[in-house]
Amino acid sequence: MGTSGMEAEMPANAVGRRVSCKGEHATVRYVGPVPPTAGLWLGVEWDNPDRGKHDGSHEGTQYFTCSHPKGGSFIHLPKASFGVDFLTAVAEVYQGLEEESMCELVEVVLFKDRSFESLLSASLRGKEVNGPGVDGKIRKTTPNITELDLSKTLMSCWEDVAAITQQMDNLEELILSDNRLRLPAEPSAHCQAFCNLKVLVLNSCDLTWRQILTCASMWPQLEDLCLNGNNLTELQRPDGVLLSLKSLSLCRNPLKQGSVTSLAYLPRLETLKLTDTGLSVIQFDDIPPESKTALFPQLTYLYLDKNNISEWFVVDELDKLPSLVQLTCRRNKLVTSDGNPKSTDKLIIAKVGQLISLNGGQILPEDRSMAELDYIKRFGEEWMKAGGHPDPQQSHPSPHFTCQHRRYQSLIDKYAPEEGELKKAKSFALKNELLKITFVFPDNADRKPIEKKLPASMVVHKVKGLLHRLLKIPVAELQLTYTSAKTLSREFEIDGDLKTLQFYAIEDGDKVLVRWA
């Protein structure tokens, strides 16, 4: 809270200022009498509309307006705090700490005539900072701050923020979350105040995208912008601003479908976080299905968790992004025919060819090959019905299939499966399908044989996947042959990853010989 007696004082320009009352923050919209009651009242609009009672009217008279029909209240002046200046808040937080504690918090801090020259990082979150205070004093007292947290304060406008930051020539990171800041009259006039700013956090500030674009000229060197939990809906192209931006977080905003591509022209954007934004469609119509888009040229990391994506063509669209290597796509509505979440992940891996990480996990070469082979097998019959054929001269899949499976033909070219390998194996009764197979290791005499019961319809790449889990040997290095009790003197090569055990006429009791490079 503010200093003693501060609660009863009111600045001359109170309307538009921020106040605190019983832990809740609000913006003053009216100062004056409210008949028939006596005394001076503050009409306020609460940050949390649940704290309010009305829309700014009383007994038929409209004293002020609110964005929420129940977001306003009238409060007595003594109950409101207008806060304290920046350096008063700094002193309240840091002056009373012992020097040893300060060394742990902010490296080395020297106290001399209330000077904090070595203070590099300052957090005033939740403190009632209302402005810069005496002109020029911040530069003399805290000139070397590089990281500043002014979230959930009583700052009311960007001009006051700029008046603080222009006295910090080394400031690179600024957190202003949970504030309500009036837009500046001339944003470009404050460029110098934020000339070295690299990171800006404006979470839960009730901002629109147009307001962000209005302010963006103030941040000429900004690289990381976090706007989670605001009022961002339709995104417009940021012409001439945010050109240095590398990371943008828009989580928990109700984004309009299709507006994400408005960000595609940010030339340096590498990371885009769109978690919990209600997205169901992402589409790039500037190119044919088999090409890479010119949009988002540097986008490397994309976060799409907790959205409404249910159509697999959206995943195919993501493969058009030329630089995408890391994707998170959890808690969406993407499902495969078997309903297995692992199958969903495998299909994403197969459809987005350049990924090296999915949902925080590294994609190993054997993971990719198994996913791609499973993809070929899963849609082989559909591909052939659509006009596909193992012979490239005879392969003419329909545009509809190509749009839904943009990588499929390239995977056919990569693995060159035979027609029989593209057809799903017929299902047999379980008692007739299980084969007892003994895996032996002729080049590693110390390894004991491993006996397993496997389905006759199991394809070879899944057998190799099983061996990879058992032996910790990369799938690509595994070489398999088998011997039968009927022909013990001869080894038969198992060379087709998409072929089944049944295809090789492997029978119950046979041995599979396992070697690796």
The secondary structure of 443-509, three-state, reads: CCCCCCCEEEEEECCCEHHHHHHHHHHHHCCCHHHEEEEEEECCEEEEEEEECCCCCECCCCCCCCC
pLDDT at position 96 is 60
- Predicted pLDDT of residue 5: 37
Share of the chain above pLDDT 90, in %: 71
Cβ–Cβ under 8 Å, residues 473 and 467: yes
Q: Return the closest-CA partner of residue 415 out of 376, 363, 378.
A: 376
Q: Are residues 249 and 379 in the same domain?
A: no
Mean of pLDDT values over 190-194: 96
Mean pLDDT of 269-292: 91
Residues 105-116 have a mean pLDDT of 46
CATH, residue 58: 2.30.30.190
Question: Domain tally for the chain?
Answer: 4
8 A C-beta contact, residue 86 and residue 92: no
Residue 46: which domain range?
A: 6-79
Mean residue pLDDT of the chain comes to 89
Regarding whether 37 and 104 lie in a shared domain, the answer is no
Residue 310 lies inside a defined structural domain of this protein:
yes
By C-alpha distance, which of 86, 90, 171, 87 is closest to 131?
A: 86
Reply yes or no on whether the pLDDT at 419 is more than 90. Answer: no
Domain annotation covers residue 347: no
**Residue 97 confidence (pLDDT) above 60:** no
- What CATH number is attached to the domain comprising 112? 3.80.10.10
Q: Average of pLDDT values for 270-277?
A: 98
The CATH number that applies at residue 477 is: 3.10.20.90
With a cut of 80, say whether residue 433 has pLDDT above it.
no
Q: Which residue has the higher pLDDT, 86 or 10?
A: 86
State yes or no: pLDDT of 102 exceeds 50: no
* Residue 432 binned pLDDT confidence (cut-offs 50, 70, 90): low
Query: Of 60, 79, 98, which one is at a domain's C-terminal end?
Result: 79
177 and 249 belong to one structural domain? yes
Q: Which of 192-206, 396-410, 425-439 has the lowest mean pLDDT?
A: 425-439
State the pLDDT at residue 340. 84
**Per-residue confidence at 327, pLDDT binned at 50, 70, 90?**
very high
Establish how many alpha carbons lie within 13 A of residue 102's alpha carbon, considering only the half-sphere containing its beta carbon. Answer: 19
pTM given for the model:
0.82
Task: List pLDDT tens digits, range 469-503.
Answer: 999 999 989 999 998 876 666 788 898 888 888 88
Selection from 319, 397, 389 nearest residue 358 by Cα:
319
Which pLDDT score is estimated for 141? Answer: 93
Whether 345 is in a domain gets the answer no
Domain annotation covers residue 344: no
pLDDT, mean of residues 100-123: 58
**Cα-based angle 264, 285, 341 (whole degrees, multiple of 5):** 85
Q: Is the pLDDT of residue 113 over 90?
A: no
The predicted-structure confidence for 343-388, as pLDDT tens digits, reads as follows: 899 999 999 999 999 999 999 998 999 899 989 989 999 999 999 9
pLDDT for position 39: 85
Co-location of 417 and 438 in the same domain: no
Residues 360 and 322 in one domain: yes
Which domain-ending residue is among 21, 54, 79? 79
Together in a domain, 288 and 190: yes
Is 278 part of any domain?
Answer: yes
Predicted pLDDT at 496? 84
Question: Does residue 443 register a pLDDT over 80?
Answer: yes
Residues 450 and 412 grouped into a single domain: no
Q: Are residues 357 and 375 in the same domain?
A: no
| 138: its two tokens | 């911040």
Cis peptide before 36 (omega within 30 of 0): yes
- 440 in the same domain as 406: no
Q: Is residue 152 part of a domain?
A: yes
Give residue 294's pLDDT: 92
pLDDT at res. 427: 47
pLDDT of residue 405: 93
Most confident of 38-47, 227-236, 470-479: 227-236
Are 252 and 359 part of one and the same domain?
A: yes
pLDDT of residue 247: 98
267 shares its domain with 195: yes
* pLDDT at res. 252: 98
| CA 186 – CA 175 distance, rounded (Å) | 22
pLDDT of res. 316:
94
Pick from 270, 243, 274, 246: nearest CA to 260: 274
Higher pLDDT, 134 or 165: 165
pLDDT, residue 426, reads: 53
Q: What is the full DSSP assignment across 115-141?
A: B-TT--EEE-TTS-EEE--STTHHHHH
Pair 29, 50 in one domain: yes
Residue 183 lies in a domain: yes
The structure tokens 């791609």 sit at 372
Q: Position 136: which residue type?
A: G
Give the model's pLDDT for residue 45: 95
Q: Is residue 199 part of a domain?
A: yes
Q: What is the mean pLDDT of residues 116-143?
A: 93
Per-residue model confidence (pLDDT) at position 339: 82
Predicted confidence band of residue 170 (pLDDT cuts 50, 70, 90): very high
Mean pLDDT of 151-167: 97
Q: What is the mean pLDDT of residues 162-184?
A: 97
pLDDT of residue 110 exceeding 60, the answer is: no
Could you tell me which residue, 113 or 147, shows the higher pLDDT?
A: 147
65-81: average pLDDT: 92
Cα angle for residues 475, 379, 375 (degrees, 5° grid): 25
